[in-house]
Amino acid sequence: MTRVRIGSLALALGLFAAPALAGQAQPTEGIRYGFGGGLILPMGDYADFAKTGWHVMGLIQLPISQSPIHLRFDGMYGANSSESGSGSITLAGATADLLYHLGNRASSVRPYLLGGLGFFSVSNGSSESDFAYALGGGLLFGIGNMHAFVETRYMSVQTSGSSLTFLPVTLGLMFGH
């Protein structure tokens, strides 16, 4: 239940921050690169043996012509402590995502949806690399000549015999033209 509250709090902070930035209208299109970080909220079987963790992320986002669709590549590294108190589980990987912006291009606050495929390495003493997929959404808002974003995704790494599922909640900045 604590994980749900933390995720809800992060989303609420993003939503309440948006009106304060609304006076700074700026297009949300163009080539962007950025970084972010936040929480990893384990789900399903993963939540049985891992505590809430942290992650960092880097990204590059490319517009597709004049459409609201962008191609985004991101890399993530993070860790969760083990529930037993001994050791940690590290996650490192990358995804290629399609991102769909909702609303007006000139809006200073713009929601988006994203989904993609990737490859992640999971390590907790031994290492395993597997296919992953992600679905989620977020809010992007203009701050001067850059953008802030808050997002969450449902991510699933297809490990041998099962899947490792988690929600990264990310707060970050994007730059570009």
CATH of the domain at 61: 2.40.160.20
Count of domains forming the chain? 1
Radius of gyration, alpha carbons of the chain:
17
CA distance 84 to 133: 28
**pLDDT at position 176, please?**
84
**pLDDT at position 24, please?**
39
**pLDDT at position 100, please?**
95
**pLDDT at position 16, please?**
42
pTM beyond cutoff 0.85:
no
How would you class 48 by CB atoms within 10 Å of its CB: exposed for 0-12, middle for 13-18, buried for 19 or more? exposed
Q: Which residues of the chain are modeled with pLDDT < 50?
A: 1, 5, 8-27
Task: State the CB neighbour count (10 A cutoff) for residue 78.
Answer: 21
**pLDDT at position 159, please?**
83
CA distance 122 to 145: 36
Q: Which residue segment(s) compose the domain that 78 sits in?
A: 2-176
**pLDDT at position 131, please?**
96
